[in-house]
Chains A and B, each alone.
Chain A
Amino acid sequence: MASESKMIMLRSSNNEVFEVEEALAFESQTIKHMIEHDCADTVIPLPKVSSNILAKVIEYCKKHVTSPKDDNNELESFDAEFVNIDKNVLFGLMSAANYLNIKSFLDLTSQALADIIEEKC
């Protein structure tokens, strides 16, 4: 398997194709598993993830892959802003995080939802 900056194609539920770097795609354990075990063709179909959700997931992964490891404050404020969105989109993100198996993103979105419930108390 090539270790250079290989590009991966992801197809959303509404048939839009996103091209991303392998390192970024590998944030998703699901995608990583599929590629490492040769279970996928050139394009990986993600029937449970719509385009707008997939775009946001890619945005999150990109930020977390490219940020320097020590810059916790910047990542924290990025994360806080990132989940400051409409509840319905947050649900979609959480489901996607679960389906794609991106642990840090799952923790972030579930905590955001827990915070919403707590506000109601």
Chain B
Amino acid sequence: MASDAKTRKFEYGGAAVDRISSLPTSLMDSILEGLPTDDAARTSVISKTWRDVWRMHPRIHLDENLISELVFEKFSELDEHTQLFELSRTITDIFSAHRGPVLDFLLFIPENLPIHQTLDMAIWIRNISDSGVRKLKLLNESLYNPFIVPSHFFSCSQLTHLTLVNCELNPPFGFGGFCNLISVELKYVGIYADMSLGTQLKELDMEVCTGIEHLGCQFNCENKLTSLRIVDCEAIYYQWFECIQKLQVLELGMNELPSSGKQVITLDKLVHNMPRLSSLFLDGFFLKILKPGAATFMRLSRTMENLKYLYLHCIELYEWDQSQHVLCLVRSSPNLQLLKIDLLKRIKLKTLTMKDPTDVFRISQEVEQIPRASKSAQIQWM
């Protein structure tokens, strides 16, 4: 993989490189992890020791940089169909040359080269599934060509960290989840059948996902979620919030009003079961679909003792309900350290909904005057 010029650069007599060779393999692995994949791969030509370490190195990260370098440097003369073939073959070669388990796998799939549609892809997934992969990131660039995750994926029983972008999940019937999975990030992912992600799950992040109702069984009373982020998904299922006692970080965003703008839950009921909440991120569109119950109360029924960071964006302070929700949240958080409010910028000059501009000033004054727990607590207006 390395050309002569690059090989020379490693200076076989180089003291640093020599000394590193004498370190135990686990330390050499740590160093390789700090290098970009192509440089790490190049170390395999330095000596037998380096080659063996690289081949056994449990991490294979075929990230965007590496893939584009491969395509532009080696395959640029070829047409796209052949490029696809050559890229698949290169990745298969990497797997063949590799020895030992692959515990950390990242693959970037470029928009114009849908390698996920080749037969090889299923083989790579089987390969990492067999070796007990723990950290997996499949980053498909194409929105219109989602990666339909093969069945071997669901056999990755050692999975602890998962990121999927532009994928489709069709779990086998009765799939009970990954027993070691603690962190999941899903972006542009569609879920097509009921499934659990696993009972140990602590962090769940979903952005522009469909079919999230299929994850309902994730939110049973034994769940261990500490961080939840649901942004721009078709809907938010409020019954999920009945059993989230351990939650510390919550982000809910809609980015625009959902078609069914039903008012289904009050702010109070939403945060009622989250005594440990320390960070809360909400956007104005989400606040709009809350029942205005909180507007009639000055405070929430339960003080948010542990709330330290409150970040509200796309807020329209001149909308009565929104400003009341904001004030209610602030009043109920005596230990707040940082309050960030991002105002929605209206481009239109027509201000039919805008009340007296002095309202905005008065509300912002009121927010500033709410007593703070310490002098170091800050308010940031954006």
Contact = CB atoms under 8 A, between A and B. Distances in A.
Interface of A: 87-88, 91, 94-95, 98, 106-107, 110-111, 113-118, 120-121
A114 B32 contact: yes
A72 B42 CA distance: 34
Interface in B34-50: 34-36, 39, 42-43
B320 interface: no
Contact of A117 (B16, B23, B27, B33): B16
Given A94-B27, A117-B16, A121-B39, 7 more contacts: A98-B26, A110-B33, A114-B33, A117-B35, A118-B36, A120-B10, A121-B6
B78 to A, nearest CB: 27
Nearest to A114: B34
A98 B24 contact: yes
A87 B20 CA distance: 10
B81 interface: no
A95 B27 contact: yes
Interface of B: 6, 9-11, 14-17, 19-20, 23-24, 26-27, 30-36, 39, 42-43
A110 B34 CA distance: 7
Contacts of B15: 87
B16 A116 contact: yes
Contact of B11 (A107, A110, A115, A120): A120
Given A95-B27, A107-B30, A111-B34, A117 B43 contact: yes
A113 B9 CA distance: 16
Given A117-B17, A121-B6, A95 B42 contact: no
B57 to A, nearest CB: 13
A97 to B, nearest CB: 9
10 contacts: A87-B15, A94-B23, A98-B24, A98-B26, A113-B34, A115-B34, A116-B16, A117-B20, A120-B10, A120-B14
Nearest to B19: A91
